[in-house]
Structures are given as structure tokens and as C-alpha cells.
Amino acid sequence: MQAKNNLLQKECMQDALMTYQQDVSTFQKNVETPSLSPMDIDFELSAIQKELDNIATDIIHFDKIDAGFVFINAIIGVLLDFCMDPANANGLAYALNNKNTKLGEWCNSIHEKIDHKNNPMDFQGGFTRDGETIIHGSGSHRDISFGGGDHRVRTYDHDIIRFWHAIKDYHDGVFRDGGYVDGQFIEVVSKVNSRGTPFEQSSWTEAFVKYCSHMFADFFSSKGLPCPGESFLSHASNRNLRILASDTYKEGLNMRTQVLQTIPFIVMDAITVGYVKLRYINDTYSKEAQNAKKHLLQLLTNALVSAINVGKVVITEQPQSINLPIIVHTIRLVASCVKDKIDYNQRVINKMSLDAIRTQLLGLQTYLVIGQEAYYETQEREKIHAIEMVLQYHLTERKNITDRLMKLVQNQEKENNVDFHEMELMTESLPIDLGNEEQLPCVMERCLVQYNRYTQLDYQNIYNNVYLK
């Protein structure tokens, strides 16, 4: 009966161990394929940190050295603007507009070499009003005139913004324009030039080539091409605007002059670029910060030169001195500085958002680590308890059977008749061989090694603390 109870107890212990092993195996399987693990969070944190490092939020502040640089650079720009002023008799623009100078003569020679005769763009005739009809005038009085050296400013076709109008006139062989008579705009059309010679018609390709050749030649003429959009002033309903367009063109305000007036801001911007690169060549400021500083310095420099240029026009009452390119460039720089500020604010917002996400992931990572440690701790306590039960079972079995064997041996010794067969049967019921006292530690160690696959605990310490005690 006692052997049967021992066998039943042994089976119960084995069932308990198998159940524990299944629980450990299920836990490991769940850990191997989690929906979100600390390793996944580490990867995300690494990616976020890399992105945070690439977001530039540094600023280069304006200082006294920058103020001195802006002042000196603006002086350079003002001097260049003065040299390109068509109202300055000693300037480059004035020399090119005057064909009596060497530069003007050379420039006008390019215009003369390119043949563009008898074309509708250069119609220089006039029209007189006869009742309600506009007729081609041959007398001295003309209600609408397109002739003279300033004919380009009075026509649509020489305005580069209306290029399609000129190409169509070339294609059709027709001059189309208009003028004001008694405050009323009247359209005029002519298929012949001022001498009565019909204009030639051209294909679209020929018309485009002739138009480009004509515009190139007129760019180098002494009067040059009118500024883009000036035909809107010369055909405005307000007579003062029409006079303003005509007078400024006569005084030298043309496209060539405006091209020359880009030189001041090109030089100033180039100097600013070199200044920023040289000053911060050994610093760790980001590219975005350096670009923002560059745009700010360029804006301040060009704004100063633009203000001085406008003041000069107002004081001297010479509108032809206006530097339109630098004013437009200053407006563009304002837009660039505003964009830099918006981009900086957006980068700050993005960095704050990413930093908030990183903080949340760190909290989640800590939660997962603590949760797993708590789970492992609970499982280890249960496992240690199961091992203690196994060891206690083996020790109890050993003690019980040893006591029975000793008692049997004592009884048999008294009768001088030892039943070795019964002792052998009792020995087989043991989980170890009593004939070898060292097997018990070996069996325990094998048991511990088997469980070592599921945990990293030091089972040698458990064995020493449980069994050797």
C-alpha cells in the first residue's frame, strides 16, 4: 500500500512538472512573436533620434559686425547704382544710350547690321481723323502717330510681354495698334508701311525667327527696347501716364538700362554670400541657419540701396533713374525671409512633436520592460517552488526507503537470514540507485539542466541551497 501511495505521489509530481513546462513553453512562444517588443521600440527610437538630429533649429543672431558689413556693402551698391543711372552723364548706361560716344556707337552698330526693314513692328506712319474714319495721313498733322525715334514705346509689338501680338503681326503682314483721339481709344490697322509698301506675310516659324532677330537688334539700338509692360502705360486711358511712359523712354529708361541696373544687387549678393561662408566656415551652424542669415543680410543691403534710389528719384525728379530690378529683388528677398521664418517655425513644431513621440515611446518601453520582468519574476518563483517539491520528494523517498531497508536488514541480521530479493525490489522503486550515493546529485543536476532552457537563473545555487541543506 505504501509503495502504491508513493507511486501515486510521484505521478502527481510529474504531472505538476509537465504542466509547468507547458506554461513556460507557451510564455516563450508569446514572447518570441509579440505585437510590440522593446526591440521594436528601440528601432523606432533610433529612427526618431536620427530625424531629430537632422532637424535644424539653430539661429545665427544679427550682431555689430553684421551691421558694419551691411553698411559697407550698401555703399558699394549705391556707387554701382549711380554708375548705371541713365541720368548720370558719366555713367555706363548714359554712354550706351548715346550713339555719339564710342560705347554707344559700338552698341548701335550691332542694331544696324541686322536687317529688319519693312516689317509691321516698325510701322512709323500716322493716322488722321476724317469724321468717324481714321485714314492714313500724309500731311504734317496726325491725330495718331507711330513714327520717330521713340516709336518703340508707342507700340504694342516692342513690349516683350506682348510677344504673341508681334509674332501674329509678322505672320499676317499687318500692323495692329491704336491711339487716343479726343480721349477715345481707336484701333488702327495697316497692311502697308508709311510709304505704301505692303508688308510681307510669313509662316509661324519665320515670324518667330524674324521677331527674335528684330528684338535682339533693337536691344542694342541707341534708344533700346521699352521696359517690359511699358505698353500698358503708353496705351493707358490717363494722358499723364502716357506722357510719363514717353518721357522716361526718351530720357534713357529702357530694357538695356534695366539689365545694367541688375549689376548692383548681383555684386552685393555675391559679396554677402562670400561674407557668410568665410565668417562661419569653422562653425557648426546648420545650412538652414546660414541661408537665413544670408537672406537677412541681402534684404537689409538691398533695402537700403532701394530706399536711396527711390529717394534720389523723388529729390531729382528724374523717374528714369528708378532702379526697378533692385526694387523687385528686394521684394523677392522679403518673401525669402518670410519663408525662412515659416520654415524655422515648422521645423521647431516638427521637432517638438517628434520629441513628444520619443518620450511616449520611452515610457512604453519602460512599461514593457517592467511588465516582462514582473512576469518572469512570478514564473521563476513558481518554478523554484516546483523544483523544491521535486527535491523534497526525492529526499523523502530516499529517507523512507532507507529506513525500511535498515529496519529490514536489522530484522534479518537478528534472524541471520537476509532477503536480498526483497531489498532489490525496494531498491528498484527508488528514483536512484542506493548503491551509489553520488547519483542523487547527478539526477538533480540533470533536472536543473532541463529547466535551464527556460530561464537564466543560477540553478547551481538553488541546488546547493535546497538539496545540500
| Range picked from 192-201, 212-221, 296-305, 434-443 for highest mean pLDDT | 296-305
- Specify the range with the lowest mean pLDDT, choosing from 84-98, 247-261, 292-306, 418-432: 418-432
- Report pLDDT digits (tens) over 162-187: 999 999 999 999 999 888 887 788 88
pTM equals: 0.66
Predicted pLDDT of residue 439:
47
Greater confidence (448 vs 219) lies with: 219
Nearest C-alpha neighbor of 17 from the set 383, 379, 380, 375: 383
Predicted pLDDT of residue 246:
87
| Residue 124 pLDDT level (bands cut at 50, 70, 90) | confident
What are the grid coordinates assigned to 272, written together? 554677402
What mean pLDDT do residues 209-219 have? Answer: 91
What mean pLDDT do residues 397-410 have? Answer: 61
Which three-class secondary structure string do you get for 13-79?
A: HHHHHHHHHHHHHHHHHHHHCCCCCHHHHHHHHHHHHHHHHHCCCCCCCCCHHHHHHHHHHHHHHHH
| Range picked from 12-21, 177-186, 231-240, 371-380 for highest mean pLDDT | 231-240
- Report pLDDT digits (tens) over 314-337: 999 888 899 999 999 999 999 999
- Specify the range with the lowest mean pLDDT, choosing from 63-77, 141-155, 230-244: 141-155
- How far is CA 423 from each of CA 112, 230, 408, 434, 438, rounded to the nearest angstrom? 136, 127, 8, 11, 20
Q: What are the structural domain ranges in the chain? A: 2-53+349-466, 103-257
Predicted pLDDT of residue 91:
87
- Report pLDDT digits (tens) over 256-298: 999 999 999 999 999 999 999 999 988 888 888 999 999 999 9
Q: What is the mean pLDDT of the chain?
A: 76
- How far is CA 245 from each of CA 230, 297, 442, rounded to the nearest angstrom? 7, 34, 112
pLDDT at 158 over 50: yes
pLDDT at 442 over 70: no
